[in-house]
Chains A and B, each alone.
Chain A
């Protein structure tokens, strides 16, 4: 028995075991980045949320310009931020498209509906003349009328708007003033007095929440272009959580089946490979967390597939090892020669798969990109664990004591 080898193996096993526990459980809430797996960002399809692709379209009144798209994007940002969601994504895509992703909202469809409202506010005279518009607004806030208890939106005009408003109301007492939002008549109140303080209000909302949404739209301003939905995907939080739980369960079942198979077929090296595989899984998950990879459903598949590639690397090595043993080499030299030859095979095989993953990354859309990212990271890491780590472990194990019965331990 070589005790220093036994000691080294024991230390490695302990380090990986601690690593494994920290990946899923935190010993103290004082360390915010534990457990490690908690830091992996979840995508919309797992957390629930909405992904919308909007396209600015020309209308008879307005044509799409790059500047208008930029302004529209700023307005969308403004609107979304008022929903109080964390880390929304708003990106321009190409010349006319804006991609919006919002996670963790209860009613994603409602968010979409609110987002694409033009929110064009107009106060019109009886003859259809426009008195003031949303551009003249300084602020809009929801409130509850203390006497009636009804929800309303209070408007404050800017000095220019206040002046126009005052001029018109003092000249038109007794007439009506129509309030239009996106061309729809909301109210048509009769002007009783001249309004000179630059304040107005819209009443008649069913709830404070409804009034709040309108106030948000008015505050953020009207969209300078018409936006149409090209693509919309909403996933409710229930379905997301369900998908995540199911894929984790399926992944664990598949993982265990692989461990059992490897142990049964490759015996001692199989055990070493299984240990390397667990280390590999922990390592890859940590890298996902560190690189802030967003984990989506396709991303999970990419990871599971890379697991398959990692195992394949081990299988290639062990088959090689068996051959070298059969050809009469000693165990130690068989390990060295086996790894050396297997490395070339694994390199060529994995590079070709990486090429496919890279193409997917550059030509694929959102979800498919996620798949390509997790797959690529997985393949690169698997080259390391399968070749360096398994090899080191196998040398340690082989060095513990001279083995006579190679058949039993190595299946050769």
Chain B
């Protein structure tokens, strides 16, 4: 007999929890490593014309009372300097001093974000997640059924938790592109789930009365399995290319998508569909036609 996805669902739920629980604990205790987009602050990336070490840069920062500033090497003779919010004069003077003490430099980027903007971003991100979830449940309710909407959105929150949790565990810095990445994952995850639900909907129409729901869902997953795998593969091809060739500025953004989309492909098969079966069982429906 072929592998039965639904009968083994306890294990899939367990696997998901094994990934999510450490992430949630990390979120609760350490939180996310929030970047300047959320906390406010200044980020400057400069490239020097000659050999320069972190020590050289630190020396100049020291004079500005910024001794504890994290300095990150982002390329040969290229550095990212994160400081609290600097005024235009302060940041101009810092660049002038780096230039004078070390040598000719190019400012690749210089970003300053006030704390108010950061709070707004957080609120907007949460609002976007909530609004998108509600609208998608409504659409699925209309086109499918309410319980499938709940199952799909639960799978989607699973993917968000996995992505955010892993970023918290690894303490990777998150900024506004991360929000976009998470929301993309939502779009992808729901898309992936809908394709399977669509097949379940179709198979339920053709199913004989008394057939077990578990079996109908299992068949549907099998019928769409090649598509599920091939689609996630093509998206992963693109993301891996972006991850390795796309440059440092976008790497974390792409990483978030890689994690989220892999989780999305998993949750569509192993969480959303079994969850729907369990939701149906809760109301006492275990067989087609009941």
Contacts and interface: CB of A to CB of B under 8 A. Distances in A.
20 contacts: A109-B88, A109-B95, A109-B110, A116-B88, A233-B111, A235-B108, A239-B45, A243-B247, A250-B246, A258-B237, A258-B238, A262-B234, A298-B177, A298-B180, A305-B188, A353-B188, A355-B139, A356-B186, A359-B135, A363-B128
A295 to B, nearest CB: 14
A399 interface: no
B198 A297 contact: no
A238 B247 CA distance: 13
Interface stretch (A23-31, A135-143, A216-224, A344-352): A344-352
A352 B194 CA distance: 8
Contacts of A345: 194-195, 198-199
Nearest to A112: B88
Given A243-B249, A255-B238, A258-B237, 8 more contacts: A229-B114, A231-B114, A233-B109, A236-B108, A251-B242, A298-B180, A350-B191, A352-B194
A279 to B, nearest CB: 17
A94 to B, nearest CB: 10
Given A356-B183, A359-B131, A349 B136 contact: no
A367 B139 CA distance: 27
Interface of A: 53, 108-109, 112-113, 116, 228-236, 238-239, 242-243, 246-247, 249-251, 253-255, 257-258, 261-262, 265, 297-298, 301, 304-305, 307-309, 311-312, 315-316, 319, 323, 341, 344-345, 348-353, 355-357, 359-360, 363-365, 367-368, 371, 375
B121 interface: yes
Interface stretch (B55-63, B161-169, B209-217, B220-228): B220-228
B82 to A, nearest CB: 14
A95 to B, nearest CB: 14
B28 interface: no
Given A113-B88, A116-B88, A367 B176 contact: yes
Contacts of B107: 109, 234, 236
Contacts of A297: 249-250
A11 to B, nearest CB: 29
Contacts of A359: 128, 131-132, 135, 183
A232 B111 contact: yes
Nearest 6 interchain pairs by C-beta: A254-B241, A254-B238, A250-B245, A356-B187, A246-B247, A239-B108
B54 interface: no
Contact of B234 (A251, A311, A316): A311
Count chain A CB atoms within 10 A of each CB in B108, B139, B143, B176 and give the residue with the most.
Answer: B108
B128 A364 contact: yes
A246 to B, nearest CB: 4
B27 interface: no
B242 A258 contact: no
B250 A308 contact: no
Count chain B CB atoms within 10 A of each CB in A311, A349, A364 and give the residue with the most.
Answer: A349
A229 B224 contact: no
B151 interface: no
A207 B92 CA distance: 18
A234 B110 contact: yes
Given A242-B247, A249-B245, A355-B135, A234 B88 contact: no
Contact of A261 (B144, B233, B247): B233
Contacts of A53: 117
A243 B250 CA distance: 9
B89 to A, nearest CB: 8
A348 B194 contact: yes
Given A229-B114, A352-B136, A353-B191, A247 B88 contact: no
Nearest to A313: B231
Contacts of B121: 365
B235 interface: yes
A231 B186 contact: no
Contact of B195 (A109, A239, A349, A368): A349
Contacts of B136: 352, 355-356
Given A113-B88, A258-B238, A352-B191, A235 B250 contact: no
B243 to A, nearest CB: 8
B258 interface: no
Given A298-B177, A305-B184, A308-B234, A352 B139 contact: yes
A108 B237 CA distance: 36
Nearest to A230: B114
A76 to B, nearest CB: 15
A250 B112 contact: no
A368 B246 contact: no
A247 B247 contact: yes
B272 interface: no
A245 B116 CA distance: 34
A316 B227 contact: yes
